Structure 1
Amino acid sequence: MFGIIRPCGEHGCPTLREAWRAHLCGLCLTLRDGQGHGARLATNYDTLIVSVLTEAQSTASAPRRTAGPCALRGFRPAGVVDARSRGARLAAAVSLALAAGRLRDQVADGDTAPATRPARQRLAARWEAGGARLGAGVGFDTTVLTGVVERQLDLERGPARGLLDLTAPAEDAVAAAFAHTAVLAGRPGNAAALAEAGRFFGRIAHLVDAVEDLAEDRVRGAYNPLDATGTGLDEARRLCGDAAHGLALAVADLELEERHLVERLLVTEVDRAVRRAFEPHGDDIAASYERPGWIRKSAAGVGTFLTCGVWRPRWSKRRGRDCEDRCYLRDGSCCDCCNCCDCCNGCN
């Protein structure tokens, strides 16, 4: 699993947490049903927003079913969004397309063992084809997503560009996916605001990823858009803040049947993602960054997959931290049900 949206599992409104998990588990199982068990590795915390947006605009809830025990749910069954849901299928198509691009990007950057590159390229091709098939089933052309890596590489290899030029491919891809949820939900009036929200979210995701990878990229001598454009962390944070503000305004313009979960993910959790990314990082972290070999990475990937992300290696940037480090509100206070959401009837 990857993505910048990672709601705190111990706090917050239980109803919203269960709804988020229904979409997350529904995405994972839709990937399994549509592309096989291995495709569950493509589960993306961010693309489940596509499923959430589709349901939030619809007059009827997405179909649900009861899923069997899973490690992520403490080996308990749960109600999840069914693979019949067009939102879940669109989210699965986007996840596969983006994961295929991620694999191709890793090969292009030389971030894999040479012996594994042909297998990664074959897997990327399978996932790309699977994403295109799932996307076609809901009327979405995934080429706007699969072309992101090539566009990104062309920009990086070309003449010097501004930072926002480099974020444009990600912005366009997310804008297209978000806007298509209006088509699925029969809300064409939302398309423009959704495209705007997608552009801002894509920009934030790209910048947050660049900030989180900065220390490792410097140690490896790898390309990072911040260093390549001479952008400091203060400027990067300003751009993220401006984009988060624009995203919140775009979300407010949406005509939704149910907006609690949408606002929680695209406003509150995006704000937290930005805060997490810009926590102080001293030079000693970059100097002592632990970069595991491909064997350890592969073994860790298997362990993470088998536990649905519950276990993560100690070098993982996604590994959980104490509540005060990862769950806080705009005023810096740790959250609980009463001050995290306005849909709860009292504290639990």
Structure 2
Amino acid sequence: MFGILRPCAAHGCPSLMRAWRAHLCGLCLTLRDGQGHGARLATNYDTLVVSVLAEAQLPSAAPRRTAGPCALRGFRPAEVLDARADGARLAAAVSLVLAAGKLRDHVADGEAAFGTVAARRRLAARWQRGGARMAAGVGFDAAALAATVDRQLDVERSAGPATGLLALTAPTEDAVAAAFAHTAVLAGRPGNAAPLAEAGRFFGRLAHLLDAVEDRAGDEARGAFNPLTATATSPREARRLCEDAAHGLALALEEAEFEDRHLVDALLGTEVRRAVTRAFGAPAASYQRPGWIRKSAAGIATFLTCGVWRPRWSKRAGHGCDERCYFRGGSCCDCCTCDCSCG
């Protein structure tokens, strides 16, 4: 799982966390049902926002079902978004296409381990086809999305000292804008298409920049491409751009009409601001990410069993940041009491 939005149960109110989990688990299971178990590795915290936006505009088109126990839910069943929901299928399609692009990006950057290049290319092609098939089922043009992802690679390869940072984020912005706008089509709300496309551009810019901020040191150590390094963008300027994008995102969402916008505001408002703070601020000392052996064991066991095993270190350690944060992406340790009015 990857992405910039990483809600934590310790600072999110229970009803919002249940709603967020319903979309996260629904996305994971929709990927499984549409492309096989291996596709669950493409689960993306950020693309589930597509599913959230679709439901917020037309809740009646987002059926729920009860899913069986899963290790990442503490070996408990849960209500999840059904794979029949158009929003879940669109989110799954976008996840597969973007994950395929990420695999190709790793190969292009020379980050693929020796002997895995051909396998990564085959997997990227398979996920690309699967994403296109699922996208066609909800009337979305996956070919245009894939072309945008490929354009991102071309822009990076041709980037020079005079290339502007926003020129490097533009393909990502266009891809997210297209996905966000299509949720208005699915919901039968054409008036929402323009503001949601604008919101998608700002969110795509944020996701691209925050990913670059978090990866900058590692990219520089490996000699890999990083948009901030390539454009000599300072941390202060990067943060200014992120905060401007977060503000633009909020303004764009105000122009859209939702039947229930609570989860949208929580994810694209509160959690976006947390993501910016997390990327530019020092992590709290109370959070310790499990070592790679334990992390790998948890992931493999969950992948194989989908809930018949739970590692002992994931047991709750009381209120505050515990392993629940890790299983939701980690590094959430600005935990606080819920400041919303829900129950």
Shorter-normalised TM range? 0.7 to 0.9
- Kindly report the root-mean-square deviation, in angstroms, between the aligned alpha carbons of the 2 structures: 2.4
Q: Does 1:335 align with 2:342?
A: no
Instruction: State the match for 1:157 in structure 2.
Output: 157
**Which runs of structure 2 are paired with 1:3-14 in the superposition (5 Å)?**
3-14=3-14
CA distance in 2, matches of 1:39, 1:68: 19
What percent identity do the matched residue pairs reach? 69
Give the structure-2-normalised TM-score.
0.86
Aligned-pair CA distance for 1:253: 1.3
Instruction: State the match for 1:189 in structure 2.
Output: 191
Q: Does 1:57 align with 2:57?
A: yes
Give the structure-1-normalised TM-score.
0.85
Contact map agreement 1:65 1:82 (CA 8 A) in 2: yes
Instruction: State the match for 2:316 in structure 1.
Output: none
Gaps in structure 1 of 5+ consecutive residues: 282-291, 312-317, 329-333
Aligned-pair CA distance for 1:342: 2.4
Instruction: State the match for 1:326 in structure 2.
Output: 332
Instruction: State the match for 1:289 in structure 2.
Output: none
Instruction: State the match for 1:100 in structure 2.
Output: 100
Q: Evaluate the alpha carbon distance shift between residue 276 and residue 131 of structure 1 in structure 2; reply closer, same or farther with a 3 A threshold.
A: same
Instruction: State the match for 1:176 in structure 2.
Output: 178
In structure 2, what residue type is equivalent to 1:208?
L
Instruction: State the match for 1:20 in structure 2.
Output: 20
**Alignment coverage as a number of residue pairs:** 315
CA distance in 2, matches of 1:61, 1:191: 18
Aligned-pair CA distance for 1:259: 0.5
Instruction: State the match for 2:241 in structure 1.
Output: 239
CA distance in 2, matches of 1:59, 1:147: 31
Q: Does 1:253 align with 2:248?
A: no
Larger relative CO (CA 8 A, sep 6+): 1 or 2?
2
SS of residue paired to 2:27: helix
Contact map agreement 2:149 2:172 (CA 8 A) in 1: no
SS of residue paired to 1:4: coil
Instruction: State the match for 2:43 in structure 1.
Output: 43
Gaps in structure 2 of 5+ consecutive residues: 284-290, 312-323
In structure 1, what residue type is equivalent to 2:120?
R
In structure 2, what residue type is equivalent to 1:163?
L
In structure 1, what residue type is equivalent to 2:337?
D
Contact map agreement 1:28 1:43 (CA 8 A) in 2: yes
SS of residue paired to 1:68: strand
Aligned-pair CA distance for 1:300: 5.6
Contact map agreement 1:41 1:305 (CA 8 A) in 2: no
Q: In terms of mean alpha carbon deviation, does 189-198 or 7-16 score higher? A: 7-16
Contact map agreement 1:58 1:185 (CA 8 A) in 2: yes
Q: Evaluate the alpha carbon distance shift between residue 222 and residue 325 of structure 1 in structure 2; reply closer, same or farther with a 3 A threshold.
A: closer
SS of residue paired to 1:154: helix
Aligned-pair CA distance for 1:9: 2.1
**Which runs of structure 2 are paired with 1:101-250 in the superposition (5 Å)?**
101-158=101-158, 159=160, 160-250=162-252
Residue-by-residue CA offset, 1:328-348 (whole Å, 9 max, x unaligned): 4xxxxx4223x1x2223xxxx
Q: Evaluate the alpha carbon distance shift between residue 82 and residue 255 of structure 1 in structure 2; reply closer, same or farther with a 3 A threshold.
A: same
Contact map agreement 1:272 1:327 (CA 8 A) in 2: no
Q: Evaluate the alpha carbon distance shift between residue 28 and residue 258 of structure 1 in structure 2; reply closer, same or farther with a 3 A threshold.
A: same
SS of residue paired to 2:98: helix
